Amino acid sequence: MVSRDTIALSGPSITRGEERAVAAVLRSRRLALGPRVAEFERKLARYTGVRHGVAVSSGTAALHLVVRALGIGPGDEVVTTPFSFVASSNCLLYEGAMPVFCDVEPDTFNIDPAAVAAAITPRTRAILAVDVFGHPADWPALRRIARRHGLALVEDSCEALGAALGRRRCGSFGDAAVFAFYPNKQLTTGEGGMIVTNRARLAGLCRSMANQGRRERSGSWLEHVRLGFNYRMSELNAALGLAQFARISTILVRRARVARWYGQELSGIPGIELPRVRPRVRMSWFVYVVRLGPDAPARACVLAGLRSRGIECSDYFRPIHLQPCYRERFGFKPGDFPVAEAVGARTVALPFHAGLGRAEVRRVADALRVALIGPHRGGRTTAGAAGRAGRQRKKRETDSRRPEDGRRRSNGGVQ
């Protein structure tokens, strides 16, 4: 339970329009397999700029269905990013395929196309890239690589509804793309996801598999023509999604405004790097993540300082290859993907949603300033002072680790 004085990390933008839409479904008694799901699919596909949409129960379900529909399975490799939510590689393991990680760009945190090209082998079947935090990946470069090697290209745009590269929206570059509608996303259905594609056959397979392997458009309810899953979206979820979609432009504008306020309030605070947006990119702000600089206090101390002042926050993301289950199964270790690891060790997600006010953003910025440079010096601390403090802290840490006899001591592994 979040106290009244706490600024929440995220929250959906819900109005009476959404409440009325969901209530109308309840009154209709048609709670599943109804017209609202189909309408939601059509509208989101059109918005993205593709022909087909398949609504499902989550973004993870959407990824799983796309991987399966593409025929990716045991012995196949898929080049993907280690800096993402774990579902983007778990969906490969579901089908027995091998995620082949490669490092990311230091400014966007998206997969590095040069690293992708170097990671391709004769067993590679696809490239699965992620629009991290709502910033589009370099899709033109990834498409060139995919076409050169005859690979499928999958867009994980779960965090990027409404983002665009040039005039082209995310979700329209690959063989298929997926969106997610968890409550912290730009648009929510409570739980839900969507596959979008121009490939009719792929859309049909996904639709069938999401509905327990039934035929897409005809056949007995108890006839199953392939292995399937219960990945359907309900009418309640779709009604909420349609009401949200009617306001998507307003929601995206409000989220962009909050991001702009953060940029203004955090500008000049030493010890952090603000998000960077590349030219020709229209960012769809999913979260607002800052990166701690080399002279900043330890991230755990910063997070604790924020929380002590009623500011919810989080570390986004721990790289997938360093998750315990991946290290145990595949033998990954620190140092395998240094850029992703450096980013993952220093990022801090601040409260972010469309309903955040300017005063709340200012309060978050003030709390972050105190967490970084202490309560006594406040905003008057200069970057030079913060740098000196960081160097002094590092010296103290080095001295504390040095054996009393002065001999060099092994650190016992990577720190």
Q: Which two three-digit tokens encode residue 414? A: 């990577």
Confidence (pLDDT) at 2: 55
Contacts of 93 (CB under 8 A, 6+ apart): 99
Confidence (pLDDT) at 144: 98
- What is the phi/psi pair of residue 145, to 5°? -65, -45
Tokens 């392997």 belong to residue: 213
Confidence (pLDDT) at 4: 65
Confidence (pLDDT) at 217: 78
pLDDT of 390 above 70: no
| Contact (CB, 8 A) for 268 and 368 | no
Q: How does pLDDT run across 109-132, given as a tens digit for each residue?
A: 999 999 999 999 999 999 999 999
Residue 177's alpha-carbon distances to 62, 131, 160, in angstroms, are 9, 11, 11
Confidence (pLDDT) at 219: 74
Segment 280-309 shows an average pLDDT of: 97
DSSP string, 143-167: HHHHHHHT-EEEEE-TT-TT-EETT
Q: Distance between CA 165 and CA 155 in Å, rounded?
A: 13
| Contact (CB, 8 A) for 116 and 79 | yes
Segment 92-104 shows an average pLDDT of: 98
Confidence (pLDDT) at 377: 47
Segment 288-304 shows an average pLDDT of: 96
Segment 84-100 shows an average pLDDT of: 98
| Contact (CB, 8 A) for 69 and 125 | no
| Contact (CB, 8 A) for 341 and 292 | no
Q: How does pLDDT run across 148-184, given as a tens digit for each residue?
A: 999 999 999 999 999 999 999 999 999 999 999 999 9
Segment 97-103 shows an average pLDDT of: 98
Within its chain, how far is the Cα of 189 from the centroid? 17
Could you tell me which residues are beta bridge partners of residue 129?
155
Segment 391-399 shows an average pLDDT of: 44
The DSSP symbol for 211 reads B
Residue with the bigger pLDDT between 374 and 349: it is 349
Confidence (pLDDT) at 307: 97
Confidence (pLDDT) at 393: 42
Instruction: Give the rounded percent of residues in the chain with a pLDDT score beyond 90.
Output: 86
* Lowest-pLDDT range of 205-219, 276-290, 363-377: 363-377
Q: Which domains does the chain have, with CATH numbers?
A: 16-245 (3.40.640.10), 248-379 (3.90.1150.10)
Segment 194-223 shows an average pLDDT of: 93
> What is the greatest pairwise CA distance in the chain?
81
Confidence (pLDDT) at 374: 75
pLDDT of 224 above 90: yes
Q: Which two three-digit tokens encode residue 144? A: 């060139």
Could you tell me which residues are beta bridge partners of residue 153?
127
Spatial strand order of the sheet with 347-350 comes to: 272-273, 288-292, 347-350
Confidence (pLDDT) at 306: 98
Alpha helices (H) along 49-152: 59-69, 87-94, 113-119, 139-149
The DSSP symbol for 395 reads H
* Lowest-pLDDT range of 91-105, 358-372, 374-388: 374-388
Vertex 131 angle, CA 125 and 137, to 5°: 75
Segment 238-260 shows an average pLDDT of: 98
Nearest CA among 156, 10, 3, 133 for reference residue 78: 156
